[in-house]
């Protein structure tokens, strides 16, 4: 079994250098990126595709599904990106400032109205375990940075405190392969050569 990971394209919030809101759409560049990853993925066949329900991932998937119109697809709430609470829509760096002011740890800090990175993993991990046992063929996940950073940190044996080292570029491609003993091994990590 191989797992293909694709983060959504650039959003209007990323372009504006603010913390992303759950409702933010793709920017024009984001649509171009999505078209390019769609072209790259056209060479593969997938047993199943899983997509986050947020606008930016659904828009990215719209480009991908043109080459995979008959592939079974599931939109799963557990794949959603972290909710930044009161930091949503605020300048980049706001979340770190709030965390520093609270003297809180990266993984456990909860901004008002939002959730912590650990909360993201707590809802995503059961989903990850489910599809691990459900599929034997290639599977594609179209999702977000935080869940993917957790996956890559675990695969590389890196503490979650350092998971930001694996932040994927928008519409980069990661491919992991599951061995017979159930362990995952990286084939390709955050490759964006198709984006030019």
* Ordered mean pLDDT values, 10 residues apiece, the chain (196 residues): 97 92 96 98 97 98 98 97 95 94 95 97 94 91 97 96 96 96 95 95
Q: Which two tokens stand for residue 8?
A: 């959504």
Closest among 49, 108, 48 to 82, alpha carbons compared: 108
For residue 10, give every residue at least 6 positions away whose Cβ sits within 8 Å of its Cβ, in sequence order, or none. 26, 27, 29, 30, 33, 170, 171
Cβ 12 vs Cβ 25: under 8 Å: yes
The confidence score (pLDDT) of residue 131 equals 83
What's the length of the chain? Answer: 196
In terms of CATH, what superfamily is 2-84+116-195? Phosphoglycerate mutase-like (3.40.50.1240)
The confidence score (pLDDT) of residue 161 equals 95
Strand pairing report for 2-7 and 48-51 = unpaired
User: Model pTM?
Assistant: 0.96
């Amino acid at each position: 079994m191989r797992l293909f990971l694709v983060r959504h394209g650039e959003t209007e919030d990323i372009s504006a250098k603010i913390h992303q809101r759950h409702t933010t759409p793709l920017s024009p560049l984001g649509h171009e990126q999505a078209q390019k990853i769609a072209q790259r993925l056209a060479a593969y066949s997938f047993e199943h595709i899983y997509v986050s329900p947020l606008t930016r991932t659904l828009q990215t998937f719209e480009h991908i599904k043109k080459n995979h119109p008959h592939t079974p697809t599931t939109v799963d709430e557990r794949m959603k990106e972290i909710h930044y609470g009161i930091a949503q829509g605020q300048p980049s760096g706001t979340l770190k400032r709030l965390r520093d002011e609270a003297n809180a740890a990266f993984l456990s800090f909860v901004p008002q109205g939002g959730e912590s990175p650990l909360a993201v993993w707590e809802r995503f991990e059961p989903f990850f375990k489910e599809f691990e046992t459900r599929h034997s063929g290639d599977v594609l996940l179209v999702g977000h940075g935080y869940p993917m950073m957790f996956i890559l940190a675990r695969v590389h044996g890196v503490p979650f405190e350092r998971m930001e080292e694996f932040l994927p570029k928008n519409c980069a491609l990661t491919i992991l392969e599951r061995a017979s003993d159930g362990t995952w091994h990286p084939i390709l990590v955050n490759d964006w050569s198709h984006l030019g």
